[in-house]
Amino acid sequence: MRKILVGIGLVFWVVSLTGCENGILPEGREIDDLQLVQVIGIDKLSDGSDDCMVTVASKNLDIGIGKDSSEGMGGSTGGSTSKALVLSARGKTMFDAVRNIQTHSNKTIFWGHSEYYLIGEDAARENIADYIDFFTRDHELRIESKVYVVKGSTAKHLIEEFNHSDFYIADKLESLGNNLKLLSFSKELRVHELIKFLDIHFSSARIPCIHLVTRDTKEAKNVTDLECDGYAIVSDLKLVGFIGRDISRGINFITNTVDSSIVTVKDPTGQDVSLEVIDSNTKVIPRFKGDTLESILLKTKVISNLGEIQSQREFSDESTISFMESQASEIIKTEMEKALEEVVKLKSDCLEICDRISLRRPLKWHKIKDEWIQIFPNVKIDIEVDSKILRTYELVEPSGYRRRE
């Protein structure tokens, strides 16, 4: 019986941490009386004060019914045609700013539906732990929510500017996250994962970063859009730099977080061939001499399928497959080397190398862990990549190919 009671107690404790889930509303409240916040932006003010700015976005449920949703909401942007209702307020602390936001709304602001936290670049360069602390203490906010750093601007600017587009920002962020799983040049991060990351990896972390872009479409020019641009790198609880999407996939190969990706190689005739990465695994092998860590080997295996070919060459030939496998290995190795070089410069162990050494060699790790931040930038790290093409789907010749007589 005691075990049952303890289990029930734990369930209620977890529910209190995660806030509202699956559309559950506060007791005795009608949905029409609530403003359901889904996106929260956090900024550091640049006016010389220590104040912070909190910006929230919730879906505009009054679109198309001729009602001005901003009525009675001082400090808001977004009328009846905007996809989101946006409110902002400043405060001495996060808690203070959040309370001040309520004074700008004629509805009760409900935080239990929050899905995304956007941290402005200047705020992230201060001390990211200040904001994480608030996320975990407030009983309505969800630790399952996802975190992004806004590169090159404030979260407030990004939220307000994107509100001029034809898309609701929370829907766009969801779509962005789905694309990350396909391309693997970054990866979504949840609040509880960030907390664990900072605790285990010497206050280091990698957080996906986003920024505003403009695109030309068939329908219009200079359309506002969001784009993920690799990772924001955190060291000693502060943003110290960025890893662009041109090499950020190398981080995912090192950390075994590649869900799916495309590697483009050449066949022997010089035509492009697309390989679909379906699996990858990197082992971290520390090399000790006595109690001294002399070097680390990153040993990576990558499995791909043949995705698309553009040449008229037989692909059943083992020499052709081997030729492309060697290129894929070199491309992936180069990305890993460049990503590693940038991370070492930033003195951040956001690559999870420390805990992987501790798992493989726990006794040796115990002797060097206190000096790890000094050891990591100076230790020699070798990379080996073995890429294999698993399936060509029995495709001997490209579609429409006719053998010359």
Which range, of 53-57, 259-263, 281-285, 391-395, averages the lowest pLDDT? 391-395
* 8 A C-beta contact, residue 236 and residue 349: no
Question: What is the pLDDT averaged over residues 355-374?
Answer: 94
* 8 A C-beta contact, residue 98 and residue 41: no
* 8 A C-beta contact, residue 353 and residue 344: no
Residue 258, token pair as written in the block: 């590649």
Which residue has better confidence, 24 or 113?
113
Query: b vs e for 292-319, b when ≥16 Cβ sit within 10 Å of the residue's Cβ?
Result: ebeebebebebbbebeebebebebeeee
257 and 214 in one domain?
no
Beta bridge partners of 287: 295
124 and 53 in one domain?
yes
CATH number at residue 255: 3.30.300.210
**Residue found under tokens 């399928």:** 305
Counting Cα atoms < 13 Å in the Cβ hemisphere of 255 gives: 22
pLDDT in tens, 366-378: 999 999 989 999 9
Report pLDDT for 22.
Answer: 45
**Is the residue at 225 inside a domain?**
yes
pLDDT in tens, 125-142: 998 988 888 888 888 888
- Given 220, 245, 270, the domain boundary residue is 245
215 and 154 in one domain?
yes
**Is the residue at 306 inside a domain?**
yes
Q: Is the pLDDT of residue 71 over 60?
A: no
378 and 255 in one domain?
yes
Mean pLDDT, the chain, whole residue set: 85
241 and 103 in one domain?
yes
Tell me the C-alpha distance between 102 and 394, whole Å. 62
Confidence of residue 394 (pLDDT cuts 50, 70, 90): low
**Is the residue at 126 inside a domain?**
yes
Tell me the C-alpha distance between 332 and 347, whole Å. 23
pLDDT in tens, 1-56: 444 444 444 444 444 444 444 445 556 567 788 999 999 999 999 888 889 999 99
308 and 192 in one domain?
no
Q: Is the pLDDT of residue 82 over 90?
A: no
Residue among 317, 314, 302 at smallest CA distance from 271: 314
**Residue found under tokens 């000096």:** 371
Confidence of residue 202 (pLDDT cuts 50, 70, 90): confident
Q: Is 115 left (phi over 0), alpha (psi -120 to 50) or beta?
A: alpha
219 and 120 in one domain?
yes
Confidence of residue 222 (pLDDT cuts 50, 70, 90): confident
**Residue 108's domain spans which residues?**
29-245
